[in-house]
Structure 1
Amino acid sequence: MTLNVAIPAPPKQKRRHLPPLQSGDYLSRHEFERRYESMPDVKAELIEGVVYMASPVHLPHSEFHSIAETWLGIYILSTPGLRIADNVSLRLGKDSEVQPDICAWIDKPARTPAKSEEEYLESTPEFIVEIAASSASFDLRDKMQLYRRHSVREYLVLTVYEQETHWFMLDANRLYRPLLPDAKGIFHSAIFPGLRFEAGSFWQRNWAELRKILQAGMATPEYAAFAAQLQRD
């Protein structure tokens, strides 16, 4: 007689859940990315091994972000050889990964490949814009020092609640110094000729005037020479 013996199934392995990211955690970039990818509904950044969790995005931040991105986007997308990205994951060194609100860079074939296999940006962009509301002190301290160490050539911080414009330029000693507006209150980028920004129009949401000033900058011989040089490189 044949006996049918039931063999019990092996016990199910409990699925291991990754610990959530918390502000102040000390993590390697690899571990940060592993946890971050399991939390698609949050924004977090890693600066020199320390995790920073972003606050909820309120309307003023979002609105001024949109205006700034449109302003810079017109310049970048009108200039072959330049690229722009919004909230891209940017790896800086072995222990930092941030998501700048907006960044732009010169896209040269001889340049280090700009993105990893995971589609993260790895080359340091020339220009970064941060729209700072509750994060103002963070953007003007921790992030600013990180960007300086990794040679981001120009850094623009727009503080929403104070409605202040902080534009910094990397000097020959790899230190940030303020880039000041001209007598008419217009900022002129040192690395992107013709890129002009009038802070009063921006904070008043006067898009027509902001665009007019930008277009005037892009009609200058300096801009034409820069655009032509990009095509030759």
Structure 2
Amino acid sequence: MIAAASSRRPRSVPLLPLENGDMLTLTEFLLRYEDMTGVKKAQLIEGVVHMPSPVRIAHAEPDGVIQGWLFTYAAEHELKIFPNATLLLDPENAFQPDAILCTAPQPGGRVWLNKKGYLCGSPELVVEIAASTASIDLRDKLRVYRRLEVAEYLVWRTADQEIDWFVLEDGQYVKMKPDRHGKLRSRVFPGLVLDLAAALACDKARVLASLRR
């Protein structure tokens, strides 16, 4: 279970700014992150602060394709999609994945909201667009998601023009293989289908068409 980040400092003691590479507890990380203005993305990965570079088109366009694909599916299946939401996983990990698709947060569910409104738990599906962070997404983050039993994990490696969709089987992630039509199909969400060629070409119409076949 995740301990609530509720400790407070005396107002006379200023908070230090977040710095890339800082080693912090979850409580300290959230206090500093909430105190900073102008910082749109920071993550705590195994106790270490990661602050990514500005977003280039190589990341932004695939991100838009994924958001549209998941939004369309979520709208038709009464699910929740959370783009770029901070996800509290355990006392050393607070990620900000590009997209989360899950059932509605509720006490006792796979995901829930803490008192400050942060999403906690293990969502059914997490997506990362890896333009410059593939080594982190496929190593450190993958290990944490696997350990905390996130059911499915999709990583779009833009530099390599590859999409990896992992499914949790007996405590291990297994990379899903496309069917003979070049499509990947979620095992958790029936009908959530991704046309690999269409996605990699950022062909939005074809990506959405796969959801309706």
User: TM-score when scaled to structure 1?
Assistant: 0.81
Please give the secondary structure, in 2, of the residue aligned with 1:70.
helix
Distance of 1:151 and 1:176 partners within structure 2: 9
Please give the secondary structure, in 1, of the residue aligned with 2:54.
coil
**Ranges in structure 2 where 5+ consecutive residues have no aligned partner:** 1-10
Letter aligned with residue 19 of structure 2: Q
1:52 to 50, 55, 60: 50
What pairs with 1:49-198 in structure 2 (closer than 5 Å)?
49-80=47-78, 82-107=79-104, 111-112=108-109, 114-172=112-170, 174-198=171-195
**Ranges in structure 1 where 5+ consecutive residues have no aligned partner:** 1-13, 217-233
Identity within the alignment, %: 39
For 2:6, the equivalent position in structure 1 comes to: none
- What are the superposed Cα offsets for residues 42-99 of structure 1, whole Å, 9 maximum, x if unpaired? 221112211111111111211110110100111111102x211011111111121111
Distance of 2:107 and 2:136 partners within structure 1: 34
Quickly say closer, same or farther: Cα 1:192–1:49, change in 2 above 3 A: same
- Residue 191 of structure 1, CA deviation: 0.7
Q: Which structure has the greater CA radius of gyration?
A: 1
Please give the secondary structure, in 1, of the residue aligned with 2:127.
strand
Distance of 1:45 and 1:109 partners within structure 2: 24
Contact 2:105 2:113 in 1 (8 A): no
Q: How many residues are paired up?
A: 201
- Residue 176 of structure 1, CA deviation: 0.4
- Residue 170 of structure 1, CA deviation: 0.3
Distance of 1:211 and 1:133 partners within structure 2: 23
Distance of 2:94 and 2:158 partners within structure 1: 24
What pairs with 1:16-31 in structure 2 (closer than 5 Å)?
16-31=13-28
Please give the secondary structure, in 2, of the residue aligned with 1:78.
helix
Point out the structure with the larger strand share.
2
Question: Which of structures 1 and 2 has the larger relative contact order (alpha carbons within 8 angstroms, sep 6+)?
Answer: 2
- Residue 108 of structure 1, CA deviation: 7.1
Distance of 1:16 and 1:117 partners within structure 2: 24
User: TM-score when scaled to structure 2?
Assistant: 0.89
